[in-house]
């Protein structure tokens, strides 16, 4: 096995004295784990930061063998590490991707969405500018892995208008009339997920509460504690930025 590819750096785990196993998200080969020699050295440390775009060459004698990789930086997001909210947004989105995806299965839509999300985090002046992209990325991840939500019509009545909530059990939308008797037992469905466009802080946080419920229940079972700490830190910082804490 040998191929060259653009990639997003997702995570790095020390291996040996100077090397590391790096997880990369690629457009055609999905999640790839590879050993990078000297990964913790002075020259490679700035390259292998989560969220960076790199050009990678991977090679292995067999598909079962851990690949060896050489990596060159094409775009650094290292400067964002000094900004708490963008840094936490990148930390969470890359950790989620590295944890949830199976290796070596292509997810071109997720590759494009992750690339767009990281670009939005880098470009937007405030987190309210990329919060909706994060919610949509989490929804897409659920859908691509077989746990998509059905927001097309009311689960009880079949109505396609006035959809305001989601059942935490079925993941299906619920209309205003049908949701009223259940009160806070349902998850709020923020309008931007149906109508598109930007959203305010309250809608972004409600969107993250919605996706977070299904990520923890369906995708991160047995693995949630390790990565959800990053998400909790992100939510806390978002709430602070919104003036809610």
Q: What is the pLDDT along the chain (245 residues), one digit of tens a residue?
A: 899 999 999 999 988 778 899 999 999 999 999 999 988 888 999 999 999 999 999 999 887 789 999 999 999 999 999 999 999 999 999 999 999 999 999 999 999 999 999 999 999 988 989 999 999 999 999 999 999 999 999 999 999 999 999 999 999 999 999 999 998 899 999 999 999 888 999 999 999 999 999 999 999 887 767 788 899 999 999 999 999 87
pLDDT confidence of residue 222: 77
Q: Are residues 122 and 217 in the same domain?
A: yes
In a domain, 11, yes or no: yes
Pick from 76, 108, 138: which residue ends a domain?
A: 76
Pick from 76, 97, 126: which residue ends a domain?
A: 76
Give the pTM: 0.94
Tokens representing residue 2 in the block: 């040998």
Q: Are residues 94 and 194 in the same domain?
A: yes
Q: How far apart are CA 125 and CA 115, in angstroms?
A: 18
Q: Are residues 27 and 60 in the same domain?
A: yes
In a domain, 139, yes or no: yes
Q: Are residues 13 and 57 in the same domain?
A: yes
pLDDT confidence of residue 224: 65
Tokens representing residue 117 in the block: 């999300």
pLDDT confidence of residue 64: 78
Q: Supply the Cα-derived Rg of the chain in whole angstroms.
A: 19
**167: helix, strand or coil:** coil
Domain that holds residue 54: 2-76
Q: Are residues 70 and 119 in the same domain?
A: no
Q: Are residues 57 and 88 in the same domain?
A: no
CA of 105: how far to CAs of 24, 30, 50, 108, 113, in Å? Answer: 12, 5, 20, 10, 16
């Amino acid at each position: 096995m040998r191929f060259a590819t653009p990639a997003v750096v997702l995570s790095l785990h020390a291996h040996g004295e100077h090397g590391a196993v790096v997880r990369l998200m690629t457009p055609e080969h999905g999640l790839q784990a590879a050993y990078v020699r000297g990964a913790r050295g002075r020259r490679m440390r700035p390259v292998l930061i989560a969220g960076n775009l790199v050009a990678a060459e991977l090679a292995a004698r067999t598909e079962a063998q851990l690949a060896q990789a050489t990596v060159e930086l094409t775009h650094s997001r290292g400067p964002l590490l000094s900004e708490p909210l963008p840094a936490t947004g990148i930390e969470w989105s890359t950790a989620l991707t590295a944890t949830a995806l199976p290796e070596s299965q292509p997810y071109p839509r997720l590759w494009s969405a992750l690339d767009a999300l990281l670009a939005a985090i880098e470009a937007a002046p405030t987190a309210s500018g990329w919060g909706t992209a994060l919610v949509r990325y989490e929804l897409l991840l659920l859908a691509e892995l077989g746990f998509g939500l059905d927001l097309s019509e009311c689960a009880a009545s079949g109505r396609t208008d006035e959809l305001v909530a989601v059942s935490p059990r079925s993941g299906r939308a619920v209309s205003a009339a049908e949701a009223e008797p259940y009160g806070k037992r349902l998850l709020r469905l923020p309008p931007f997920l149906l109508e598109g466009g930007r959203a305010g802080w309250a809608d972004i946080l409600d969107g993250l509460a919605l996706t977070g419920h299904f990520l923890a229940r369906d995708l991160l079972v047995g693995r949630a504690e390790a990565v959800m700490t990053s998400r909790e830190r992100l939510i806390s910082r978002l709430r602070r930025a919104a003036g809610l804490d």
